[in-house]
């Protein structure tokens, strides 16, 4: 047996309906499209979102929100979260991602000063708050901005 000898099971396939081939065929005349109307005509097309002239959904719903294209959206990490990372000399975005503290290593990260830092860390982030920097440097760690 090989792929060339495979066939559908008996009764699994049907031949296509041949539309508009005379009244005796059962689908002659209107070819299953009913009488008159937009969809009965040849070449009729409607956009996927067209609702027959009714006010469309994208115009019925209110507009809201705004996306600022120039704004930098930071991923936030607090200093207390750094206590979860053990046995690492230098904390980088890749280390934070592997520890599950941020979702993306290639997007900007900001360190905030919430909580208490317990160990000395050398950290590389894109931004840091004043209180977080004080906590890291008080314990003898260093901060490098990327």
Residue 1 binned pLDDT confidence (cut-offs 50, 70, 90): confident
CA atoms within 13 A on the CB side of 16: 4
Find the helix or strand (DSSP H, E) in which 123 lies.
strand 122-125
Instruction: Report whether 135 contacts 113 (CB < 8 A).
Output: yes
**78 pairs with which residues across the strands?**
112
How many residues belong to the chain? 146
Collapse the DSSP code of 131 into the 3-class scheme (helix H, G, I; strand E, B; otherwise coil) and give the result. helix
- pTM of the predicted model as reported, rounded to 2 decimal places: 0.57
Backbone torsions φ then ψ of 76, nearest 5 degrees:
-100, 135
pLDDT digits (tens, 9 = 90+) for 20-64: 999 998 899 999 999 998 889 988 888 888 998 999 999 999 999
The percentage of residues in the chain with a pLDDT greater than 70, rounded to a whole number, is 100
Considering the domain delimited by 76-145, tell me its CATH architecture: Ribosomal Protein L15; Chain: K; domain 2 (3.100)
pLDDT of 107 over the 90 cut = yes
Average pLDDT over residues 87-115: 92
Gap between the Cα atoms of 136 and 141, Å rounded:
5
Gap between the Cα atoms of 6 and 15, Å rounded:
18
């Amino acid at each position: 047996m090989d792929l060339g000898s495979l066939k559908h099971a008996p009764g699994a396939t049907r031949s296509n309906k041949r539309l508009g081939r005379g009244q005796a065929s059962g689908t002659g005349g209107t070819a299953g499209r009913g009488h008159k109307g937009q969809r009965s005509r040849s070449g009729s097309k409607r956009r996927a979102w067209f609702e027959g002239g009714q006010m469309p959904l994208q115009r019925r719903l209110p507009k809201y929100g705004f996306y600022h294209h120039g704004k930098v959206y930071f991923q936030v990490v607090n200093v207390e979260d750094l206590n979860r990372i053990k046995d690492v000399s230098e904390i980088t975005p890749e280390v934070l991602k592997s520890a599950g503290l941020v979702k993306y290593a290639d997007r900007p990260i900001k360190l905030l000063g919430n909580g208490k830092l317990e160990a000395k860390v050398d950290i590389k982030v894109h931004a840091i708050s004043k209180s977080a920097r004080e906590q890291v440097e008080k314990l003898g760690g260093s901060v490098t901005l990327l």
